[in-house]
Amino acid sequence: MSVDSPPQMPLYEQLLSSLGTPPGPPKLRPSAAVVPWRLDDHGDVEVYWVRRNPALRFMGGWHAFPGGGLSRRDAALPLRGAPRGMAPEGRSPASGSAEIDQTLPQDLIDGLLACALRELFEETGLLLHCGAATVDPGALLEGRQSLLAKEVDFAALLERWQTELDAGPLHYAGRWLTPPLAPMGFDNRFFLLHWPMDRALQPTILEGELVHGEWIRAADGVACWRRSKVLMAPPILHLLRALAEDGPETGLPRLQRPQETFWGPMRHIEFRPGIHLLPVRTPTLPPATHTNAFLLGHRDMVLVDPATPFEDEQERLLAALQAAQQQGARLRAIWLTHHHVDHIGAVEMMRRRLDLPVFAHAASKAPLARLGIHLDGELRHGQRVVLDGDPPCVIAVHHTPGHTRGHLCFWLEEHGSLIAGDLISALSTIVIDPPEGDMGDYLASLEAMMKLQPRLLFPSHGPVILDAMGKLEEFHSHRLERERQVLSLWRGGERDTAAMVRSIYPDLPPMVHGIAQRQVLAHLQHLAQLEEIEDFKLEGTELDPRAADR
């Protein structure tokens, strides 16, 4: 089997180039979280944090504080009092950022406060209420178990105990919006709650959505993050830092006005030390609407995949990078994982405005040149780059062809993190479009990255993936299962790739059947290479890549 010279733009790239401005990020669900805190015997601040069940689809395995999304029933729960630091009409101290408009209608304020207290009870067993009588600890536990088992609702429990929720002990501690990394996200308010160690009732965890909870010094929580022992979202890290450095009273302005957590107009997202994530809006395949650009390093830094072609988004990214420079970052180069248009849109603008050289794999040189991008140098498989900083950042370059011939991943061995590009997606499968894409190469690249035993994956689309090995194995086994389906159909006499698509992908929208046929073709090519099928010919068929020029 032979394939003639590839077209100037394969079908997948044609599709990407035809996409316009993606829809805006999804509507964020209102949510609330409570940060229980106390002073230990040495006067240091401790907080009670929890670890989410690794099996959860959203942030499974992450450390967080007790909280969750607003329920339709929360606004009807009986509630008294109001948190300190939040005015009754819902206008909290101004943050100075256009991203954080703190005004809320009263019913949403009441609902969020009730949500915070309900989630606090569900996840830790702590009940803030203002009834005349105390509630027996045994009754609290029984009620909590029934609530988690969905045998009773919270309103019924409060009525049984003849009490109302009390928001008075809470102290407002800031608002954070989930960055546009996934189809779901939250608009979250945090509240501090002083809970001394001499209280008879202390927080506990009933395993389910949570698998662990503990009191920990805020400073120790930050140290765990620095040693890459835990994964937490930026607001959790900021809360820990402010409480450790300034305490729950002096640190309140930092919590309520978290301007230090921004690089210009963009949130500073650092899930692992030295890996700074900058999601930018791009014309990419749904459900993704953004591509993740990265800054790697602690002082000297490289910019990976400045992706957006949209002028307003380019200016936002540029402003964020300039803010990082003002805080000590020294940008040294632009690195590209591969040449697809949803990864390179701002390359020339950033090269010009920041005076940076551009590097990619040699196999990306020709397709990048067709897109008007020239390389100043090449990144080689096995190359190790040491970026100066405290500590230095060591990055190993891995050539991982399959999605494209020149695809690269970047490996930060220090904390087991892989900048995965389009080897993996947190939102969908990866398109393999021959001849630029090659299924055999793709499977081999997955296998090579599994040998690294990564702990975290940072894909180009979607949030960071905690179960790195599980995700790599999932993508590998998924491709092998698809290949078995294709082989079974072929051996059954089916030669029509469109019919194969209808059989293998029965629920696939017709508008993407063409891309699915390219996937089937990639499997057929691989099966032919393995000599599992015979008489497979590409030339002259409707899937011949030369057909794109006809």
pLDDT in tens, the chain (550 residues): 333 334 456 777 777 777 777 777 678 889 999 999 999 999 999 999 999 999 888 888 999 999 999 998 999 999 999 899 875 434 433 333 434 444 555 556 779 999 999 999 999 999 999 865 678 889 999 999 999 999 999 999 999 999 999 999 999 999 999 988 877 789 999 999 999 999 989 999 999 999 999 999 999 999 999 999 999 999 999 999 999 999 999 999 999 999 999 999 999 999 999 999 999 999 988 888 899 999 999 999 999 999 999 999 999 999 999 999 999 999 999 999 999 999 999 999 999 999 999 999 999 999 999 999 999 999 999 999 999 999 999 999 999 999 999 999 999 998 999 999 999 999 989 999 999 999 999 999 999 999 999 999 999 999 999 999 999 999 999 999 999 999 999 999 999 999 999 999 998 888 888 889 999 999 999 999 999 998 776 544 444 444 333 2
Handedness of CA 212, 214, 220, 221 (dihedral sign): positive
**Kindly report the CA angle at 397 between 392 and 403, in degrees rounded to 5?**
140
The DSSP letter of residue 499 is H
Q: For residues 423 and 373, what is the distance between their CA atoms, to the nearest angstrom?
A: 22
Q: Tokens at residue 44, please?
A: 């240091």
Radius of gyration over every alpha carbon of the chain, rounded to an integer in angstroms: 26
Q: For residues 384 and 456, what is the distance between their CA atoms, to the nearest angstrom?
A: 19
pLDDT given at position 15: 76
Q: For residues 408 and 304, what is the distance between their CA atoms, to the nearest angstrom?
A: 11
Q: How many residues does the chain have?
A: 550
Asked if 71 and 110 touch (Cβ cutoff 8 Å), the reply is no
Residue 17 CB coordination number (10 Å): 14
Q: For residues 454 and 424, what is the distance between their CA atoms, to the nearest angstrom?
A: 13
Ramachandran angles phi, psi of 333, nearest 5°? -165, 165
Asked if 294 and 276 touch (Cβ cutoff 8 Å), the reply is yes
Ramachandran angles phi, psi of 534, nearest 5°? -125, 165
Long-range pairs for 238-246: beta carbons < 8 A, 24 or more residues apart: 239/35, 239/47, 239/65, 239/173, 239/174, 239/190, 240/47, 243/35, 243/37, 243/45, 243/47, 243/218, 244/44, 244/45, 244/217, 244/218, 244/219
Handedness of CA 90, 94, 95, 97 (dihedral sign): positive
3-state percent helix, strand, coil for the chain, nearest multiple of 5: 35, 20, 45
pLDDT given at position 80: 92
Handedness of CA 195, 201, 202, 206 (dihedral sign): negative
Amino acid (1-letter code) at residue 103: T
pLDDT digit string (tens) for 392-445?
999 999 999 999 999 999 999 989 999 999 999 999 899 999 999 999 999 999
Q: For residues 422 and 366, what is the distance between their CA atoms, to the nearest angstrom?
A: 19
Give all domains of the chain, ordered by start, each with its CATH number: 11-22+263-467 (3.60.15.10), 29-250 (3.90.79.10), 485-549 (no CATH)
Half-sphere exposure of 244 (CA within 13 A, CB side): 14
- Give me the torsion for CA of 396, 401, 403, 408, rounded to 10°: 20
Residue 453 CB coordination number (10 Å): 10
**Kindly report the CA angle at 270 between 415 and 285, in degrees rounded to 5?**
100
In 3D, which of 241, 249, 246 has the Cα closest to residue 270? Answer: 241
Question: What HEC string does 175-244 produce?
Answer: EEECCCCCCCCEEEEEEEEECCCCCCCCCCCCCCCEEEEEEEEHHHHHHHHHCCCCCECHHHHHHHHHHH
**b or e along 55-79 (b: 16 or more beta carbons within 10 Å of the residue's beta carbon)?**
eeeebbbbbbbbbbbbbeebbebeb
pLDDT given at position 256: 92
ω into 391 cis (within 30 of 0): yes
